[in-house]
Structure 1
Amino acid sequence: MAMQQIKYMTCLAAAALGGLGTAPPAEAGDRHVVHPGESIQAAVDAAGPGDTVFVAAGSYRESVLIKEPRVTLRGAGRRTVIRPPTSRAENACGHDGNGICVIGSPGHRLPGVTIRSLTVSGFKKNGIWATGTSRLRVRDVDARNNGQWGIALQKSVRSSIGDNTARGNGDAGIFLANTVDEEGGATDTHGTAISGNRLVGNRIGITVRRTRNLRVDGNAVTGNCAGVFVVGDESRPRAGDLSVNGNDVSHNNKHCPATKRLPFLQGIGIVLTGAEETRVQANRVNDNVGKSPLSGGIVLFPSFAKAPNERNVISGNVALRNQPADLANRDRDGSGNGFAGNECRISEPADLCRQARAVLRARFFSGSTSGVPSSRIEAE
């Protein structure tokens, strides 16, 4: 009897496993293909969570609004070009002068949208505008010649903005903020990454404003009026607790006129204003030359909202041939900011580069030269 029961249970288990083996795979999402002359928006409206809207190579005159979670909008590379409509815009994204919008609802962040492999060009306001999103991915996008920002996010977390090109935009190539239209404490972005992007010929390459817990790593920022801005104010929590690491920020010598918020910009590498606990490390910041109050290689500048820079660390950078200085601490009210191990020649005040040389010598004579090229030590 016991043996019969065992055989019976074995047959049941085999049947169950066999049923699992023949079950259809989980739904992978549908693919909607758009060709020139067809509507991208119509395909996006038809897409559900997990679907991909593939836009074939060609030129498209429309704005695109995405409000469905986990939708992928994918082009055929830079040959898929989205430009402003020639007639009245048909959705809120276009009415506001934007190219592609990803919009969450109040109190509910829109998750998992991906935009990749396309060009968005010539819009009055922003190339890509996202608000209230989570895990937004923007990859291999060329955002060019837009009136304000190339790729811009607010009220968004866990974003990944990588391997894009933003060029010739009226303000920042990439812009990240807590909110745009109101004041408030810095938003914890929960690890947003801005990495591997190329920023050329914008007013500012990258601006991160009133945000925390993110990284700006491995970007190439050149030919702008200013390279990288980390901006905070007196609100709580303070902006900061982020890294600016391994970027090439060079030759940002374009001239941009003053605005209501900022003086004229030229020759600006990396600027911290009103930030705390920001780590500026292992960047190459060379040949940024200008006469703006913000000009120089790596600059701590007093906040226009009277918020000091505090407890920031500037270390291990190569900052050379910047004018008027490679390193500059112009924030007299700031405290606890440290400069160490940087390769530079001219600083404000004059001892910042000497402090760097002292650190390098100490590492050399103690035998601890990890991460410091021997040529750099010998040059000192």
Structure 2
Amino acid sequence: MKKCHIAYLACTAALIGTGLGAAPPVAAHTVHVVHPGESIQKAVDAAQPGDTVLLTYGTYHESVDVSTPGLTLRGVGRGTVLEPEAAASTGSTAPSTAPSTAPSTGSGAAKTGKAANSCAAGGNGICVVGTKDHNVDGVTIASLTVSGFAKTGVYATEADGLTVRHVTAVKNGVWGIATEQSAQGVFRDNTARDNGDAGLFLANTIKEELGATDTEGTVVEHNRLVGNRIGVTVRRLRNLTLADNHLTGNCAGVFVVGDENKPKAGFVTVRENRIERNNKSCPKTARLDALQGSGIVLTGAEDSLITRNVIKDNVGKSPLSGGIVLFKSFVGTTSDRNRISNNLLRGNSPDLVNTDTGKGNTFEGNSCRSSQPAGLC
């Protein structure tokens, strides 16, 4: 592992400037360079807030626990690959199983091998795990591939301001990229392909029955979601935008899911996405009916906007099949005051579906040819 200090010029400028007026102090950030065969975890543990751990081209058989706020963990592109160690690749791959990553108990515990091993033990590739008392905020994961982990490629909790960009998550047992109890996230230019459940999974919490939480403007944009059970799942969240994503070959494209708890899920904007041929067939699970041919599904959500999407050729025999589906919650919660407007829908079966009994839902300005019930187009 090599360290490259990059604050020399800033420090020099500050010294020169002492005769011309005091210059503001500049933090010294370090780039920790890791090569295949070296320990990523060792570099991460040595890093300070604001540092970068740079992974060079090659394959790393390792799971990594990130517990330093403001850290950047970055590869050099898809050719930087994290895969599980041979002994760690035999975990459960059931889609209904949640990551069992143990939270850190503070900066001291987070710097131990035990914390790092919890990520591997949970079947996850990269873990950004904080607690209510010790958030791990402002972390960036970028420009690498996570593949073949039993549960999740990138998993985060209590990680506000998380950025995940240019990450390829392939053939992980449950989720490609997943977060819970986190706000102000940015998920941009990622590819999630052939994961067991959702390519991208965003939730309030998977361990408790709680009302929806405010993400404070989380953004999911310019991602490619292919061949998963569900492309993107937004579960019990509010104030979030999905824009300019391409979803194809999944059993379902987008799920916005709420329940009976308060506040409801809602204030989600799904706009300008391309959602086509999500016709893979997925069997029924304990929580969800069989899936096939679903473009966008809203259930138990309120005050959301579905607009200017191109939704084509989503065809299946599931109760949730259709281009845009407003579906009554499985626990009986209605969807209210949602606006479905100005979408282009072609070749779905049918294009628009409303089986919900909620109030104030509107369908307007959509270009479509078939609906259930009739008259929504």
TM range (shorter): 0.7 to 0.9
What residue is the counterpart of 2:288 in the other structure?
A: 262
Task: Note if 1:320 corresponds to 2:341.
Answer: no
Instruction: In structure 2, give the amino acid aligned to 1:342.
Output: N
Using structure 1 for the length normalisation, give the TM-score. 0.86
Partner of 1:309: 335
Partner AA of 1:77 in structure 2: G
Structure 2 spans left out of the alignment, 5+ residues: 1-14, 90-115
3-state secondary structure, aligned to 2:376: helix
Alignment of 1:1-380 (within 5 A): 18-19=18-19, 26-87=26-87, 91-323=117-349, 325-331=350-356, 333-353=357-377
Deviation at 1:107, TM superposition (A): 3.3
Q: Give 2:318's aligned amino acid.
A: S
Amino acid at match of 1:175: F
2:169 aligned partner, one-letter code? A
Distance 1:20 1:69 in 2: 34
Local SS of the residue matching 1:42: helix
Structure 2 CA distance for partners of 1:82 and 1:20, relative to 1, 3 Å: farther
Q: 1:199 to 1:88 in 2, by over 3 A?
A: closer
Instruction: Work out which of the two has the higher radius of gyration on C-alpha atoms and give 1 or 2.
Output: 1
Cα deviation, 1:51-105, whole Å, max 9, x if unaligned, reads: 0000000000010000010000000100000000124696111110000000112
Q: TM-score, normalised by structure 2?
A: 0.87
Q: Is the 8 A contact 2:88 2:123 kept in 1?
A: no
Structure 2 counterpart SS, 1:91: helix
SS at structure 2 position matched to 1:92 = helix
TM superposition shift of 1:20: 5.5
Distance 1:24 1:182, change over 3 A: closer
Q: Structure 1 residues 343, 22: CA separation in 2 closer, same or farther (over 3 Å shift)?
A: same
Count of paired positions: 337
Compute the RMSD of aligned alpha carbons.
1.6
Code of the residue aligned with 2:358 in structure 1: it is: G
Q: For 1:350, give the aligned amino acid.
A: A
Distance apart, 1:220 and its partner CA: 0.2
Contact kept, 8 Å, 1:34 with 1:53, in 2: the verdict is yes
1:166, distance to aligned residue in structure 2 (A): 0.2
Give distance in 2, aligned partners of 1:308 and 1:87.
46
- What secondary structure, in the 3-state scheme, does the structure 1 residue paired with 2:256 have? strand
- Provide the residue aligned with 1:12 in structure 2: none
Amino acid at match of 1:82: L
Secondary structure of 1:181's counterpart equals coil
CA distance in 1, matches of 2:137, 2:26: 20
Q: Which amino acid aligns with 2:228?
A: N
Q: Report if the CA contact (8 A) 1:109-1:156 is conserved.
A: no
Shift of 1:111: 1.1
CA contact (8 A) 1:63 1:98 kept: yes
| Superposed CA offset, 1:22-70 (max 9, x none) | 8586024101000010010000000010100000000000100000100
User: C-alpha separation between the residues in 1 aligned to 2:276 and 2:88?
Assistant: 41
Q: Tell me by how many angstroms 1:17 deviates.
A: 6.4
Q: Which runs of 5+ in 1 are unaligned?
A: 1-14, 354-380
The letter for the 1-side match of 2:55 is V
Per residue, is there more helix in 1 or in 2?
Answer: 1
CA distance in 2, matches of 1:201, 1:273: 22
**Residue type matched to 2:53 in 1?**
V
After TM superposition, give the deviation of residue 108 of structure 1 in Å.
Answer: 3.7
